[in-house]
């Protein structure tokens, strides 16, 4: 029979799986929970349980959401003919904060990376193509971090999206090479969205 682990040690081990969480912070956090009121800690456990049970991918944009279609896709004020493609759900918030965008999003859930065996079939590229084929889309904005994987992904998408009668644009290189959308301030992102550059035309 496997030995039962001390729950404090187990929690420290599990917390260390959180990106950026070292042993010291994990231990401090575990002690905090041990001293915190039971209601607060059980509330957190319940929130984590619900996170796994109730969050799903939006059938339209593939963002993780409590509802499908998500709030953005279901919002009649958003323009469904303009799709901003992002690598990760966490990139939507900074772009929204810029206030410069009124279209919808599409989340790829990663970037192409042959080194890590991430090919097109691991990303939500097929659902993006289905969206484009299913309704009139006039523009796809590629808002992907300009890392090597990001650039490879954008080139792959540009090739897939050409000759489909839509405009393909990307954020200008003003977002310095290698810069991260998640940590770019809203003014810079707003300017980047307004100054987006066309990379392929509407020609069919």
Q: Does 85 bind Zn ion (CB under 5 A)?
A: no
Least gap, CB of 94 to Zn ion (angstroms): 17
Q: Does 70 bind Zn ion (CB under 5 A)?
A: yes
Long-range contacts of residues 49-54, Cβ cutoff 8 Å, at least 24 apart: none
Q: Does 108 bind Zn ion (CB under 5 A)?
A: no
Toward Zn ion, which CB reaches closer, 12 or 124?
Answer: 124
Toward Zn ion, which CB reaches closer, 58 or 161?
Answer: 58
State how far the Cα of 30 lies from the Cα of 13, in Å rounded to an integer. 10
Q: Which of 12, 73, 82, 181 binds Zn ion (CB under 5 A)?
A: 73
Q: Does 175 bind Zn ion (CB under 5 A)?
A: no
Compute CA distances 154 → 17, 125, 131, 170, whole Å.
30, 11, 18, 8
Q: Does 171 bind Zn ion (CB under 5 A)?
A: no
Is-contact 144 168, C-beta < 8 A?
Answer: no
Opening angle at CA 109, ends 93 and 153, nearest 5: 105
Least gap, CB of 14 to Zn ion (angstroms): 30
Per-residue buried b or exposed e for 136-172, using 16+ beta carbons within 10 Å of the residue's own CB: ebebbbbbbbbbebbbebbebbeebbeebebbbbbbe
Q: Does 60 bind Zn ion (CB under 5 A)?
A: yes
Binding mask 20-59 for Zn ion (x = CB under 5 A): --------------------------------------x-
The helix/strand count (H/E) of the chain reads as 8, 7
Toward Zn ion, which CB reaches closer, 26 or 83?
Answer: 83
Residues that bind Zn ion in the complex, under the rule CB under 5 A = 58, 60-61, 70, 73
């Amino acid at each position: 029979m496997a030995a039962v682990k001390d729950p404090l040690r187990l929690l420290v081990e599990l917390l260390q799986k959180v990106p950026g969480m070292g042993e010291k912070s994990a231990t401090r956090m575990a002690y905090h929970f041990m001293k915190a009121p039971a209601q607060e800690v059980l509330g957190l456990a319940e929130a984590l349980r619900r996170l796994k049970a109730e969050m799903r991918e939006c059938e339209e944009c593939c963002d993780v959401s409590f509802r499908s279609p998500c709030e953005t896709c279901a919002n009649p004020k958003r323009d469904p003919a303009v799709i901003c493609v992002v690598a990760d759900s966490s990139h939507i918030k900074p772009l929204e904060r810029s206030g410069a965008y009124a279209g919808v999003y599409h989340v790829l859930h990663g970037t192409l990376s042959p080194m890590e065996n991430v090919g097109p079939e691991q990303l939500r590229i097929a659902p993006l193509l289905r969206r484009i084929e299913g309704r009139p889309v006039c523009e796809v904005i590629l808002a992907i971090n300009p890392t090597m994987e990001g650039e490879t992904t954008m080139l792959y998408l540009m090739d897939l999206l050409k000759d489909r009668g839509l405009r393909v644009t990307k954020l200008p290189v003003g977002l310095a090479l290698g810069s991260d959308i998640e940590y770019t301030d809203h003014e810079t992102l707003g300017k980047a969205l307004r100054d987006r550059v066309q990379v392929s035309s509407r020609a069919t």
